[in-house]
Amino acid sequence: MTQDGTPAQAGLENLLHESRSFPPSPEFAAQANAQPALYEAAAADRLGFWADQARDLLTWRKPFTETLDWSGAPVARWFADGTLNAAYNAVDRHVAEGRGDRVAIHFEGEPGDTRTLTYSDLLREVSRAANALAALGVSTGDRVVIYLPMIPEAVIAMLACARLGAPHSVVFGGFSADALRSRIADAEAKVVITADGGFRRGAPSALKPAVDEALVPRDGVESPVAHVLVVRRTGQDTAMAEGRDVWWHDALESADVTHEPVWVEAEHPLFILYTSGTTGKPKGILHTTGGYLTQTAYTHKYVFDLKAESDVYWCTADIGWVTGHSYVTYGPLINGATQVIYEGTPDSPHQGRWWEIIEKYKVTILYTAPTAIRTCMKWGEDIPATFDLSTLRVLGSVGEPINPEAWMWYRRVVGGDRTPIVDTWWQTETGAIMISPLPGVTAAKPGSAQVPLPGIVADVVDDEFRSVPDGGGGYLVLSEPWPAMLRGIWGDLERFKDTYWSRFPGVYFAGDGAKKDDDGDIWLLGRVDDVMNVSGHRLSTTEIESALVSHDAVAEAAVVGATDETTGQAVVAFVILRSDHAEALGTTDEDEIIQILRNHVGKEIGPIAKPKRILVVAELPKTRSGKIMRRLLRDVAENRAVGDATTLADSSVMDLIAKGLSK
Ligand code: WTA
């Protein structure tokens, strides 16, 4: 259901007729980290359960005595009087406890170059990077923006910041210079860590020029950034600003290989990650240290059944997204896992690249997104069939609802009809997995995230905040605070309260619609607000609309997420051009105009936000109060008969749009 009452993804209604169920095999259940007793322990004493996890999974410098302080709700304080360091937990202690020779990262570059980093290697690199950052003036509390491809330095940079207690803010490498600029400004970052470029689809793709552009003073305001640390990855020609830019390898070469981590309080900010909301301005989601690390480590251990000594884990997410934070950098390293990091796209240089990587590194746990699975389905199952995937034992899915067909394909073709699948629901805001089957315990249902994890309390409620009965649908809420929950929106407490805590007083409103089936299991139905989910990436309709109207040729724009077979949703924009648009665009050719506007959105936000379709229209459907009726536009975008249009101020508008499109 969306705000205006339609299912965000029409096909999802079919989910509720899905009745297949896959219980764990007795062999898997017997060896699983998660046993039914985990639910019982959490139910018996929820806070005690979390305190146990925090003590078991993390090494504290100073032990905490209080588990949760909710007196400042909705800003939680977890384990607040304890102190620790995230990098120490992710790296140093493994070395100190004799696990230094274990491989932390198998890196596979897109061109085929490889690197292996043990935990000892990681400790040396992270320590040097922390010293290098300190030499550039970064100290505890300073913000550092990271804008890197998926190379080991991305993880090293994050941990080096954490080591100093300097919150990082990773900006996805696919975002534009403008998007980077606004995030740097909002976080008031002192240093940016970037690279000359990365390899993408067989060619080097530059990153540094976007940083240069983002740092140019605008409207008389100087950039807060004093230094840029540049990793050499592609060897492209790179302009270096004297006195400002420093090569990473130069800075690290002269840096000491030891560094004393800064012990911070559990509530010390670990990172800010910007994500799309329902307004044009991205929100800086703030996460702190102790609670976040506890829950990422806990979920990584139990949801993926991680056996650190023997598993080879691979999460395909980019560190630019929260999944890369929690399930590439923090969760796996805290748990001492061995993982694969791959730089490029699944089809470079051939469509079997992922399966080849799984065979090569004998990957046992794979965590990816439904959109990737659907893409591989389209390419055909004979491609994975030529590789040995028999090492796989757990498969995970995240980012959007997974349709049962994709789930079944994932299990049969990738998992050899044998592996459990965990469909994990969570958000940038929740910090870690919240709702998911536990392999070895839960009988999995294709398409359902099913049950809140032990220690998590969630519900589905109706408009009046009544818990819906089994079989009913409504809104997903999280009823009790959880350790990895966001602690706010950077610099905007009011927006934090407003966005998440005002729809239903006292509980967290996730923005997702959901249903309970007859067993009480939860099925996610997509966003109920103006947030779209394209290939598992969150995009805001309003943000793309503002990007479109920022072009001189555009008078008005409305953006909807239309159901798309591969990407889940696709961005479809309706624009009204200004009467003098020919002047601004230098053309009247509609195809050219559409191309110009698509590129404009790419420049304003990033290529991922480019509308798949742009439809030039004469009018937009609006209610009498002036609100655009996106529901009707979605009908058009999805080639459906247009629904009830009686609340339109001018009921002839839809005919006009339809006529215009059939021209
Ligand atoms: C959606 C990604 C259904 C949901 C970790 C949520 C899902 C948004 C699932 C958060 C899932 C994520 N089933 N929907 N397993 N996982 N979502 O912040 O709409 O990028 O609100 O975090 O993705 O996206 P975000």
What ipTM does this complex have? 1.00
Position 556 pLDDT exceeds 50: yes
Sequence-ordered alpha helix ranges (H) in 390-501: 404-409, 493-501
User: Would you say 528 and 12 are in contact if contact means Cβ atoms under 8 Å apart?
Assistant: no
Q: How many angstroms separate the Cα of 307 from the Cα of each of 100, 191, 313, 593, 619?
A: 17, 37, 10, 54, 58
Confidence of residue 14 (pLDDT cuts 50, 70, 90): low
524 ligand 1 Cβ < 6 A: yes
581 ligand 1 Cβ < 6 A: no
Confidence of residue 3 (pLDDT cuts 50, 70, 90): very low
Residue to probe by mutation, ligand 1, list 9, 435, 533, most atoms within 8 Å of CB: 533
* Ligand 1 atom 14, closest CA: 400
For residue 297, the CA-to-ligand 1 centroid distance in Å is 19
pLDDT given at position 25 = 97
Dihedral sign from CA coordinates of 308, 311, 315, 319: positive
432 ligand 1 Cβ < 6 A: no
For residue 330, the CA-to-ligand 1 centroid distance in Å is 19
pLDDT given at position 281 = 82
User: For residue 206, what are the β-bridge partners?
Assistant: 197
Secondary structure (H, E, C), 438-452: CCCCCCECCCCCECE
Instruction: State which ligand 1 atom lies nearest to the alpha carbon of 402.
Output: 13
User: Would you say 91 and 122 are in contact if contact means Cβ atoms under 8 Å apart?
Assistant: yes
For residue 396, the CA-to-ligand 1 centroid distance in Å is 13
Instruction: State which ligand 1 atom lies nearest to the alpha carbon of 526.
Output: 19
Instruction: Classify residue 16 as exposed, middle or buried by CB count within 10 Å of its CB (0-12, 13-18, 19+).
Output: middle
Give the CB-side neighbour count of residue 538, counting CA atoms within 13 A: 27
Q: Which of 145, 5, 22 is nearest to 411 (CA)?
A: 22
**Strand 458-461 relative to strand 394-398, pairing:** unpaired
Least confident of 63-72, 320-329, 330-339, 618-627: 618-627
For residue 425, the CA-to-ligand 1 centroid distance in Å is 6
Sequential DSSP letters for 585-597 = HS---HHHHHHHH
For residue 15, the CA-to-ligand 1 centroid distance in Å is 17
**What proportion of the chain, given as a percentage, has pLDDT over 70?**
97
- The pLDDT mean for the chain works out to 94
Instruction: Classify residue 97 as exposed, middle or buried by CB count within 10 Å of its CB (0-12, 13-18, 19+).
Output: exposed
pLDDT given at position 17 = 67
- What integer is the mean pLDDT of 382-393? 98
For residue 120, the CA-to-ligand 1 centroid distance in Å is 35
- What integer is the mean pLDDT of 80-104? 98
pLDDT given at position 16 = 60
User: Would you say 419 and 392 are in contact if contact means Cβ atoms under 8 Å apart?
Assistant: yes
For residue 428, the CA-to-ligand 1 centroid distance in Å is 8
Q: Which residues lie closer than 8 Å to 453 by C-beta, 6 or more apart?
A: 299, 302, 303, 433, 434, 435, 436, 438
Angle 659-662-663 from CA coordinates, rounded to 5°: 90
Position 5 pLDDT exceeds 60: no
Dihedral sign from CA coordinates of 555, 561, 564, 570: positive
pTM: predicted TM-score of the whole model, two decimal places: 0.92
Q: Which of 576, 560, 578 is nearest to 631 (CA)?
A: 560
527 ligand 1 Cβ < 6 A: yes
Residue to probe by mutation, ligand 1, list 395, 410, 427, 608, most atoms within 8 Å of CB: 427
Q: Which residues lie closer than 8 Å to 571 by C-beta, 6 or more apart?
A: 532, 534, 539, 544, 559, 561, 609, 610, 611, 612, 613
* 332 marked as binding residue: no
Position 547 pLDDT exceeds 90: yes
User: For residue 426, what are the β-bridge partners?
Assistant: none
| Start-end of CATH 3.40.50.980 domains in the chain | 120-283
Q: Which residues lie closer than 8 Å to 309 by C-beta, 6 or more apart?
A: 102
One-letter amino acid at 139 equals: S
Residue to probe by mutation, ligand 1, list 499, 515, 538, most atoms within 8 Å of CB: 538
296 ligand 1 Cβ < 6 A: no
pLDDT digits (tens, 9 = 90+) for 476-500: 999 999 999 999 999 999 999 999 9
Q: What backbone phi and psi angles, to 5 degrees, belong to 582?
A: -60, -35
Q: How many residues does the chain have?
A: 663
User: Would you say 50 and 292 are in contact if contact means Cβ atoms under 8 Å apart?
Assistant: no
Secondary structure (H, E, C), 200-220: ECCEEEECHHHHHHHHCCECC
3-state helix, strand, coil in the chain (%, to 5): 35, 25, 45
pLDDT given at position 41 = 98
For residue 169, the CA-to-ligand 1 centroid distance in Å is 20
The domain 120-283 is placed in CATH, from the list 3.40.50.1370, 3.40.50.980, 2.40.50.140, 2.10.109.10, at 3.40.50.980
Instruction: State which ligand 1 atom lies nearest to the alpha carbon of 510.
Output: 21
Rg for the chain, CA atoms, rounded? 24
pLDDT given at position 225 = 98
Instruction: Report how far residue 206's alpha carbon sits from residue 439's, in angstroms, rounded to the nearest whole number.
Output: 41
Q: Which two tokens stand for residue 117?
A: 């980093």
Position 599 pLDDT exceeds 50: yes
pLDDT given at position 255 = 98
Q: What backbone phi and psi angles, to 5 degrees, belong to 272?
A: -120, 130
* 78 marked as binding residue: no
Instruction: Report how far residue 571's alpha carbon sits from residue 567's, in angstroms, rounded to the nearest whole number.
Output: 10
Count CB atoms within 10 A of the CB of residue 176. 22
Q: What backbone phi and psi angles, to 5 degrees, belong to 288?
A: -110, -170
Place of tokens 């000491």: 256
pLDDT given at position 631 = 86
Q: Which two tokens stand for residue 59?
A: 């090494």
Q: Which helix (H) or strand (E) element contains residue 150?
A: none
* Ligand 1 atom 24, closest CA: 427
User: Would you say 330 and 336 are in contact if contact means Cβ atoms under 8 Å apart?
Assistant: no
Q: What backbone phi and psi angles, to 5 degrees, belong to 80?
A: -65, -30
* 554 marked as binding residue: yes
Instruction: Report how far residue 50's alpha carbon sits from residue 100's, in angstroms, rounded to the nearest whole number.
Output: 28
* 613 marked as binding residue: no
Query: Of 540 and 451, which is predicted with more confidence?
Result: 451
Q: How many angstroms separate the Cα of 537 from the Cα of each of 83, 166, 306, 494?
A: 34, 26, 26, 25
User: Would you say 438 and 302 are in contact if contact means Cβ atoms under 8 Å apart?
Assistant: yes
* 226 marked as binding residue: no
Instruction: Report how far residue 401's alpha carbon sits from residue 405's, in angstroms, rounded to the nearest whole number.
Output: 12
* Ligand 1 atom 13, closest CA: 401
* 104 marked as binding residue: no
3-class DSSP assignment, residue 577: strand
* 203 marked as binding residue: yes
Instruction: Report how far residue 8's alpha carbon sits from residue 569's, in angstroms, rounded to the nearest whole number.
Output: 9
pLDDT digits (tens, 9 = 90+) for 61-85: 999 999 999 999 999 999 999 999 9
Residue to probe by mutation, ligand 1, list 292, 398, 403, 539, most atoms within 8 Å of CB: 398
Confidence of residue 15 (pLDDT cuts 50, 70, 90): low
User: Would you say 59 and 89 are in contact if contact means Cβ atoms under 8 Å apart?
Assistant: yes
pLDDT digits (tens, 9 = 90+) for 430-481: 999 999 999 999 999 999 999 999 999 999 999 999 999 999 999 999 999 9
Q: Which two tokens stand for residue 255?
A: 């840096």
* 423 marked as binding residue: yes
pLDDT digits (tens, 9 = 90+) for 506-525: 999 999 999 999 999 999 98
pLDDT digits (tens, 9 = 90+) for 202-215: 999 999 999 999 99
Query: Topology of 531-661 in CATH?
Result: GMP Synthetase; Chain A, domain 3 (3.30.300)
* 287 marked as binding residue: no
DSSP 544: H
pLDDT digits (tens, 9 = 90+) for 613-653: 999 998 888 877 777 888 889 998 988 888 777 777 777 88
User: For residue 273, what are the β-bridge partners?
Assistant: 285
Instruction: Report how far residue 218's alpha carbon sits from residue 105's, in angstroms, rounded to the nearest whole number.
Output: 40
Instruction: State which ligand 1 atom lies nearest to the alpha carbon of 538.
Output: 20
3-class DSSP assignment, residue 199: strand
Instruction: Report how far residue 571's alpha carbon sits from residue 324's, in angstroms, rounded to the nearest whole number.
Output: 24
Residue to probe by mutation, ligand 1, list 316, 524, 531, most atoms within 8 Å of CB: 524
